[in-house]
Amino acid sequence: MIKKILVANRGEIAIRVMRTCREMGIKSVAVYSEADRSSMHVRYADEAYCIGPAPSNESYLVIDNIIDAAKRCHADAIHPGYGFLSENAGFADRCEQEGIIFIGPSSHAINTMGDKITARQKMLGAGVPVVPGTSEPIQEIDKAIKVIKEIGLPVMVKASAGGGGKGMRLIHEESEIEPGIKAAQSEALAAFGNDAVYIEKYINSPHHIEFQVLADKHGNCIHLFERECSVQRRHQKVVEETPSPIMTPEVRKEMGAHAVAAARAVNYASAGTIEFIVDDNLNYYFLEMNTRLQVEHPITERVVGVDLVKEQINIANNLPLRYKQEDLKQNGHAIEVRIYAEDPDNNFMPSPGKVMHITEPLGLGVRHDGYVYEGYTIPMFYDPMISKLIVWAPTRKEAVERMKRALYAYKITGIKTSIPFLSRVMNTPAFVEGRYNTHFIQDNQQYLEPKDDASQKIRDVAAITAFVDYISKIESKTRVSSNGSSVSNWKAFGRKKSLNRL
């Protein structure tokens, strides 16, 4: 059985994995770059080892350094989190060679699902619906034009090795076909060293719905229902919820069965996610499989009541799944928002820097997974996500109200964050009513842009408070120099004077 796990990651996900290790009585080991010496995952772990300089490609992405650290501390297993090496088949293989358990699927599963075209072929074979399109990589323009005419416009051209929106082109009209394909090919070559592209029917205004699966090494595979992830900005998820507001029990059952079939097709054994695109009539198509834990896994944990990291570790320990499909049900409604260090009122400009002050939202139905603390300087080298706020309530309506309340109470100063933007999402009618697709953000600009609606009174209160702070600092300096005491009258609250005279 696994007794010590090295977590090859940083930030909130490293801590989230270590929490489960601690509950299971497993020692946790942090690895850190030089920029992360004071990061919370180093502080939370039982052990910690430096694996190189700040840039990820000199630390968190260097397989040799991570393997070295794992051997030095005699870790039985490595958990890769998400991002970094989590979907690197070479890393999974290397772990196996070194006799270290990789907590994730086999390199075969990662490789098969990592290449879009191979994945598509597997899914066709497994009877999982895929978006109409090419089943082989295309390099010649003429062939591409022929295929596009068969499928019918609009289509999406995608890099075969791609991800994250790179090497993608949407083609609406015939005249765009040739330049579109060429642009996608050259981007794909630059980004992934491979100019193969493939072509898919473009689903207009789609929903992005994914299914969580868990599979063990004994042939058991279950799904943990769906997550609705259609609120996206530049292909990055911003808000996720479960259940999906547009789902029906019948479609859920069918999609769940297809998700299980997809996982089985690659002999999957760990936690994984099958992403589908879904049109307004609930026609759904396999998009890709993420062969790792997802950022948004907590909403599933909350509604289904399963600790996904614990299940990953149990599967890595060769244990059979402890849940059967019929044991699981969706209980209530959960929503997650991602808090980024960025300025939503200034084109989402990244905002690294020093966190002055945090007030975390607490109370009934609120989960907060973060890693920053007061006085912590958010480094500029990594992903700007600083925390995730997850709420649960018996109904969707109440969950939205609870998220508003939690965002109201959540204060981080010193850096700009996306909290105000997320509050506006929670107040946008289309979101409140559950009528939205992946065009939500572009379709709802009037609700999502900052408003200059402050009253005279609130502006005056803001100005007065700043002024009082300024004056009190001047007075306190004067007082210190005159009598050596730094006690300021301005802070002398709670004294015996009656405060309610006014």
Partner 1 sequence: MAYEIRIKDNQETIEILNKKGSLLEVAIGDRNYKLDIVEVEKGVYSVLLDGDSFNIELIPVENKKYTVNTLYHSFDVDIIDAEARYMMSRKSAEDDDQSTISTPMPGKVVRILVEEGQKVKAGETVIVVSAMKMESEYKAANDKTVKQVLVKEGDNIDGNQPLVIFE
Give the separation between CA 161 and CA 90, rounded to whole angstroms.
Answer: 15
Q: Considering only 5-13, 148-156, 376-384, 431-439, which stretch makes contact with partner 1 by CB under 8 A?
A: 376-384
Contact between 8 and 45 under an 8 Å Cβ cutoff? The reply is no
Note the helical H segments in 433-455.
Answer: 440-443, 445-448
Three-state DSSP class for 38?
coil
Q: Considering only 112-120, 135-143, 196-204, 406-414, which stretch makes contact with partner 1 by CB under 8 A?
A: 406-414
Given its own copies, partner 1, none, residue 414, with its beta carbon under 5 to 8 Å by kind, binds partner 1
Give the separation between CA 267 and CA 374, rounded to whole angstroms.
Answer: 45
Task: From 115, 73, 71, 74, select the one nearest 94 (Cα to Cα).
Answer: 71
Give the separation between CA 294 and CA 228, rounded to whole angstroms.
Answer: 13
Q: Find the catalytic residue in 16, 120, 292, 396.
A: 292
Per CB under 8 A, does 368 bind its own copies?
yes
Per CB under 8 A, does 4 bind its own copies?
no
Tell which positions 245-264 bind its own copies, by CB under 8 A: none
Nearer to its own copies, 13 or 130 (CB): 13
x/- letters, 401..420, toward its own copies (CB under 8 A): xx-xx--xx-----------
Q: How far lies 209's CA from each of 2, 129, 194, 233, 378, in Å? A: 34, 14, 29, 16, 32
Per CB under 8 A, does 320 bind its own copies?
no
Count of residues binding its own copies (CB under 8 A)?
56
Q: Considering only 149-157, 182-190, 256-264, 413-421, which stretch makes contact with partner 1 by CB under 8 A?
A: 413-421
Give the separation between CA 185 and CA 299, rounded to whole angstroms.
Answer: 37
Give the separation between CA 472 and CA 495, rounded to whole angstroms.
Answer: 18
Helix or strand run (H / E) with residue 15: helix 11-23
Per CB under 8 A, does 46 bind partner 1?
yes
CB of 494 to partner 1, least distance (A): 8
Q: What is the CA radius of gyration of the chain?
A: 25
CB of 79 to partner 1, least distance (A): 17
Three-state DSSP class for 39?
coil
CB of 128 to its own copies, least distance (A): 30
User: Which residues, in sequence order, are CB contacts of 171 under 8 Å at separation 6+?
Assistant: 148, 153, 154, 155, 156, 157, 177, 180, 181, 202
Given its own copies, partner 1, none, residue 170, with its beta carbon under 5 to 8 Å by kind, binds none
Sole binder of its own copies in the list 150, 174, 280, 374 (CB under 8 A): 374
Helix or strand run (H / E) with residue 393: strand 385-393
Q: Considering only 186-194, 271-279, 286-294, 400-408, which stretch makes contact with its own copies by CB under 8 A?
A: 400-408
Per CB under 8 A, does 472 bind partner 1?
yes
Determine phi and psi for 223, rounding to 5 degrees. Answer: -115, 155
Nearer to its own copies, 155 or 366 (CB): 366
Dihedral sign, CA of 426, 427, 428, 429?
positive
Tell which positions 324-363 bind its own copies, by CB under 8 A: 331-332, 359-360, 362-363
Tell which positions 35-54 bind its own copies, by CB under 8 A: 35, 37-38, 44, 49-53
Quick check: is 322 catalytic?
Answer: no
Residue numbers at the binding site for its own copies (CB under 8 A):
15-16, 19-20, 22-25, 34-35, 37-38, 44, 49-53, 298, 301, 305-307, 331-332, 359-360, 362-370, 373-374, 377, 379, 393-394, 398, 401-402, 404-405, 408-409, 493-494, 496-500
| Residues that are catalytic | 292
